[in-house]
Amino acid sequence: MTRRTYKPFDPLAVALEQIGDRWTLIIVRALMNKPQRYSDLKAFMVGSGSNVLADRLRRLADLAIVTRSAGSRAGSDITYQLTERGWTLAPVIEDLVRFGLRSLLFGATGHESGPERRVFDLGWAMTNPALAVEETYQWIIDGVVFTLEVVVEGVQIVRTPGHAKNPVARLETTTEVLEELLGRRTTLGEAVKSNSMKLKGRPAAIERMFTALGFPPDQVETLQLADTG
Amino acid sequence: MADSWHSRCFCPLSMALDVLGDRWSLLVVRALLPGPQTRESLCTFLARRDGPDLDAILRELIDAEVIRRGQAGGHDSVFELTDRGAMLGPVVQELMRWGLGELLLTTTHAARGSESFDQSWAVADLADPKDEAYAWTIDGRTFTLEVVGSTLIRTLGPPPDPVVVMETSSEIFEALAFGRISFPEALMRGELRLSGQPEATRRMFHVCGFPPEFLQALAPDRISPEVSA
CA neighbours closer than 13 Å in the CB half-sphere of residue A67: 8
The answer, yes or no, to whether residue B137 has pLDDT greater than 90, is yes
Task: Kindly identify which residue of chain B lies nearest to residue A11, measuring between CA atoms.
Answer: B99
Contact: A12, B99; criterion CB under 8 Å: yes
Taking each continuous run of H as one helix and of E as one strand, the counts in chain A are 10, 9
Best CA proximity match to B13, nearest among A59, A46, A191, A116: A46
Instruction: Give the distance between the most distant pair of CA atoms in chain B.
Output: 59
CA B68, B71, B75: angle at the middle one, nearest 5? Answer: 115
Do the chains contact at A104 and B26, CB–CB below 8 Å? no
Q: What is the pLDDT of residues A31-53, one digit of tens each?
A: 998 899 998 898 888 778 889 99
Q: SS3 breakdown of chain A: % helix, strand, coil, rounded to 5? A: 40, 20, 40
Which of the four pLDDT bands, split at 50, 70 and 90, describes residue B4? Answer: very low
The count of other CB atoms within 10 Å of the CB of residue A47 is 13
In degrees and rounded to multiples of 5, residue A188 shows phi and psi of -60, -40
**Nearest residue of A to residue B88 by CA position?**
A99
pLDDT at B70: 84
* Facing A93 at nearest CB: one of B13, B49, B92: B13
Give the contacts of B20 (CB within 8 A, at least 6 positions apart): B26, B64, B66, B88
* DSSP H or E segment with residue A79: strand A78-82
Give the count of alpha carbons within 13 A of B215, CB side only. Answer: 16
Q: What is the largest CA-CA distance in chain A?
A: 59
Nearest to A95 among B7, B90, B109 (CB): B90
Tell me the CA distances in angstroms from B161 to B103, B132, B153, one per residue in order: 21, 8, 15
The upper half-sphere exposure of residue A3, i.e. CA atoms within 13 Å in the direction of its Cβ, equals: 5
Bridge partners (DSSP) of residue B196 are B164
Q: Does A120 score more than 50 pLDDT?
A: yes
- Nearest Cα neighbor of A76 from A35, A114, A110, A48 is A35
Least Cα separation, residue A55 to chain B (angstroms): 18
Q: What is the model's pLDDT at position A190?
A: 94
Mean pLDDT of all residues belonging to chain B: 82
* pLDDT per position as a tens digit, B157-184: 999 999 999 999 999 999 988 888 888 8
Nearest to B117 by CA among B209, B211, B212, B210: B209
Of A89, A118, A148, the CB nearest to B98: A89
Contact (CB, 8 A) for B195 and B120: no
Among the partner-chain residues B50, B84, B95, the one whose CB lies closest to the CB of A12 is B95
Of A20, A103, A214, Cβ closest to residue B19? A103
A54 CB-near residues (< 8 Å, 6+ apart):
none
pLDDT digits (tens, 9 = 90+) for B174-210: 998 888 888 888 988 999 999 999 899 999 999 998 8
Partner-chain contact A91 B92, CB within 8 Å: no
DSSP state of A117: P
- Of B24, B41, B25, nearest to B212 (Cα)? B41
Contact: A98, B12; criterion CB under 8 Å:
yes
Instruction: Please indicate whether, in this complex, the C-beta atoms of B9 and A124 are within 8 angstroms of each other.
Output: yes
CB contact under 8 A, A99 and B19: yes
Chain A residue with CA closest to B151: the answer is: A8
Contact (CB<8Å) A122/B10? yes
Whether pLDDT at A114 is above 80: no
Pairing of strands A156-161, B37-38: unpaired
Q: Are B195 and B164 in contact (CB under 8 A)?
A: yes
Number of inter-chain CB pairs under 8 A, A vs B: 167
Task: Tell me the chain A residues in contact with residue B103 when contact means C-beta distances shorter than 8 Å.
Answer: 9, 11, 14
The confidence score (pLDDT) of residue A229 equals 44
Q: How high is the ipTM of this complex?
A: 0.84
Alpha helix positions (H), B126-190: 170-177, 183-188
Kindly give the residue spans of alpha helices, DSSP state H, lying in A107-202. Answer: 175-182, 188-193
Distance from A122 to chain B by nearest Cα, in Å? 6
SS3 B208: coil
Query: Which segment, A98-112, A135-149, B4-18, B69-83, is predicted with the most confidence on average?
Result: A135-149
What pLDDT does residue B122 have?
82
Q: State yes or no: pLDDT of B73 exceeds 50.
A: yes
Per-residue b or e along B163-201, where b marks 16 or more CB atoms closer than 10 Å to that residue's CB = bbbbbbbbebbbbbbeeeeebbebbeeebbebbbebebb
> Are B49 and A85 a contacting pair at CB < 8 A?
no
Percent over 70 (pLDDT), chain A: 85
Tell which of A7, A14, A101, A182 to mutate to test the B interface (max B CBs under 10 Å). A14
Q: Which of A1, A5, A12 to substitute to test the interface with B, most B CBs within 10 Å?
A: A12
CB contacts of B122 in chain A (<8 Å) are: 8-9
CB contact under 8 A, A97 and B152: no
Note whether B149 and B64 are within 8 A (CB).
no
